[in-house]
A and B are shown apart, each in its own frame.
Chain A
Amino acid sequence: MTASALSDLSMVAAAVGYLIAFFLHSLEWSAARGLAPVRPQDGSEDVARIRVDLFGRLAVGVTVVAFLVHAFAVVTRGIAAGRAPWGNMYEFVSASVMFAVLAYLVVVWKLGARWLGIGVTLLAAVGLGGAVTVFYVDVAPLVPALHSVWFVIHIVAAAISGAAFNLGAVASALYLLRRRAEADGPVVSGYLAKVPHSTKLDLFAYRLHAFAFPLWTFTIAAGAVWAQYAWGRFWNWDPKETWSFVTWVIYAAYLHARATAGWKGTPAAIIAIVGVVSFWFNFVGVNLLFSGLHSYAGI
């Protein structure tokens, strides 16, 4: 079996793995329905609570396995191509989903933030599933425009900041759910009771965005420097550039909103989610809908 075929097979397996992990997280959430916020002392819920935890643990286990298979797929793809494995849409999406899952697993390992799992595995399953079904292209060398050291710098920075933006968006979405549950009544039950308090979620999301925003600024700057070398002009208002600028402005608005009375909390969380939608539109939509300087090798 060639490295390329091995990579293709593992990539599909990883996508399926993330899907299974997502189902397990969904079971974890649904099994927690109606459970009291705090474990009753009489032990009446112990069986149900252990089941909830079992699903959660299984989901994380499956995610770890899927991630390892995924990382193997990305590495073998790079070996097959003899270069960094992010030279086209398929490779870029699969590599950045890998960075996002890695960031998630680190957060689970260090901070125990398993509650991000349902969102992250869904994003990973959809992202990687879309990559293997819609964007797939066979291994091929790079077009001359990508022969540059910036090919690594610019794209790795984009993928890492993208990973943090995605985790931040999941935390913001959970914030909205938890916030609504807190507003509905004094007692938050079910799975949301196990998710950190909304103030903590807001803080968690903020930290991820505060990490990602300077890195995203750097991504755009590195892209501009590269563009100056490649095209003689560092900014052309090419659709990709325009949308990365739009994404930047939305996240700048998020950071300002968190410091503005009347915009804290729910509005800021919504801005963060709009930001990630803009981010994904930039990475997928722009390539599919518009032609520009960033159109390489099909899609």
Chain B
Amino acid sequence: MRTGEFVRWCWTQLTSMRTALVMLFMLALAAVPGSMIPQETISPVEVADFKAANPVLDAVFTPLGMYSVYTSVWFSAIYLLLFMSLVGCILPRIALYWRTLRKPPPTLPSRPDRLPVNRRTTVGGTAEEALTRAETWLHGKRYRTRRVAEGVSAERGYSREAGNLVFHSGLVVLLFGLAWSNLLGFHGSAVVVEGKSFSNVITQYDEFTAGGWKNSDSLEPFTLKVDAFHTKFETGEVQRGAARRFDADVTFTDDGETTTDLIQVNTPLITNGGTQINLLGHGYAPLITITDGNGDVAFSGPVVFLPQDGNFSSVGVINAPDARPQRLAFEGFFFPTAVLDDKGPRSVFPDAANPELFLNAWSGPPAKETGIPQSIYSLDTTGLSPVPGDDGEVLRMRLTPNTGLALPNGLGTVTFDGWSRWVKLQVSQTPGNTLTLIALMVAVAGLCVSLFVRPRRLFVRIDGDGAVVGGLDRTDAATGLDEEVAHLAAAVADEEPDAGDTVGDPAGHAAQWGMSDPADPKGTGA
């Protein structure tokens, strides 16, 4: 019994408005750290940098899940509790609302003159006729009425609570939509060099995140070939180097049908199966040919270099593990608009106006294939030694397109054949989006109804020779109660309505928002 009471007490606490309010504050507060601390889902690189730079903070942040705030236990706990509180709050209110809808308006109060706004009026014709006129007027104003011998009660604005309930239910449905997208959706990205193709199988992705219920072995089968990528940058004085154009010509093959398309930043490609392909980034891929010491081509093709700054100073690694007699590797920089001065080599503009490739070479005895995957963006120098230059220091190569260099000691040659661009494609599926969007639209509509519809009750009571008309607003933000009471009284009296002369209205419903005491003696205000 005590347990039952305790559970009931907990439930009452959880579903109280006060708790909801506190949890709203907690939710707002809990969302803040994620905007200040780097997040795993947004930028794993920044997280790694932050951890390295702040070991003391890291010791606190890691156990607290501060690098993935929005999926952490405590953040989830807050919003789930909030939603439980919401459901606990609206379910009884839906039941109550259902009963209210089926019930007639409230019973006629015995003293309508005690209502906030009221007036006494004469009765035109018989009481019967007067009440009928009152009812007609009330129906014209879309009131629901309840007629008894002594008078009429009327109520309107039922949709306010309906809007409120729709809004809150909409939020619950929205949460389901989000969960659906998260559990059955995926998103991944892949870097594709111009002229190359991407097939939608998991092995082709550079990064891939799928929901728990998504079978990532059965992705929608399609192929996308990046024919060309076009970019343009601001060359004027203002915002020099800012992106001005950013789109890719692609050939898309799906269900045996091949089409050509243009992907732009705000116009992704959407497949028949609802997979969305976005253009997220781009960069340069120098074309390199490595000829080994035996005169055989050990590597040839584009190498993806990753941009490091807004002017696309890019770093990359070229590996030629099959070069013989010595295997070869290179690391270096690609500068689309290269400048070499006392600040060192760098790029001064994002477009390829003066591309140059700066390389260091490494060589070593052939290594056995280990099968361990290696990053293609960083060089593992185990078993390699730097190739020395003429002066005994490390060899530094500076190449312009269509030039090459023979490595010392007959190790081979490297040629810089030109450059291509690569694009980073994001492929994603968010199946719950339609539901989420509909829920959101319905919720906003409900919200507007709940904020702008103003429930009101009006009463007419025959009192002796005359009648008393009274009214009250059930929200404090309403206006025009005075006027409606005056009009209703006029309908009862069968007269033309006059303005004002009502008693009461303490909350100032016939609001004047001007100065409560205009400073000028004439009293005209602003």
Contacts and interface: CB of A to CB of B under 8 A. Distances in A.
Interface of A: 32, 37-39, 43, 46, 49-50, 52-53, 56-57, 60, 107-108, 111-115, 137-141, 143-145, 147-148, 150, 193-197, 199-200, 203-204, 206-207, 210-211, 213-214, 217-218, 221, 225-226, 228-234, 236-239, 242-243, 245-246, 249-250, 252-253, 256-257, 259-260, 262-263, 278, 286, 290, 297-298
Given A143-B244, A144-B243, A233-B428, A115 B515 contact: yes
B53 interface: no
Nearest to B22: A253
B114 interface: no
B278 A230 contact: yes
Nearest to B275: A232
A290 B36 contact: yes
A204 B238 contact: no
B222 interface: no
B520 interface: yes
Contact of A112 (B24, B266, B443, B526): B526
B266 A260 contact: no
Interface secondary structure of B, over-half rule: mixed
Interface stretch (B299-307, B317-325, B446-454): B446-454
A194 B436 CA distance: 48
B239 interface: yes
Given A207-B477, A237-B34, A50 B24 contact: no
Contacts of A290: 35-36
Residue among A37, A214, A234, A252 with the highest chain B CB neighbour number at 10 A: A214
Contact of A238 (B42, B246, B477): B42
A217 B447 contact: yes
A262 to B, nearest CB: 7
B452 A210 contact: yes
Interface in B31-90: 31-32, 34-36, 39, 41-42, 69-70
Contacts of B24: 249-250, 252-253, 256
B444 A259 contact: no
Contacts of B237: 138
Contacts of A39: 517, 521
Given A39-B521, A53-B518, A203-B507, A229 B266 contact: yes
B517 A256 contact: no
A286 B277 CA distance: 29
B21 A256 contact: yes
B9 interface: no
Given A112-B515, A194-B515, A253-B25, 13 more contacts: A49-B520, A113-B514, A138-B239, A147-B266, A150-B266, A203-B508, A211-B451, A217-B444, A228-B433, A232-B427, A237-B69, A245-B31, A256-B20
Given A203-B476, A246-B28, A260-B18, A229 B514 contact: no
9 contacts: A37-B517, A53-B520, A56-B526, A196-B508, A214-B444, A221-B441, A232-B187, A249-B24, A253-B21
A210 B234 CA distance: 43
A111 B477 CA distance: 16
B460 interface: no
B238 A108 contact: no
Given A145-B266, A217-B444, A256-B24, A139 B238 contact: yes
B243 A143 contact: yes
Contacts of B69: 237
Interface in B210-258: 234, 236-239, 242-247
Interface in B472-505: 476-477
B345 to A, nearest CB: 25
Contacts of A214: 444, 447-448, 451
A249 B519 CA distance: 40
B267 interface: yes
A193 B516 CA distance: 7
Given A213-B447, A217-B447, A290-B35, A297 B278 contact: no
B516 A197 contact: yes
Nearest to B440: A221
Contact of A196 (B276, B277, B513): B513
A46 B525 contact: no
A111 B17 contact: no
Given A57-B526, A260-B17, A263-B21, A242 B512 contact: no
Contacts of B426: 231-233
A164 to B, nearest CB: 12
A246 B242 contact: no
Contacts of B265: 144-145, 147, 230
Given A221-B444, A249-B28, A113 B519 contact: no
B35 A111 contact: no
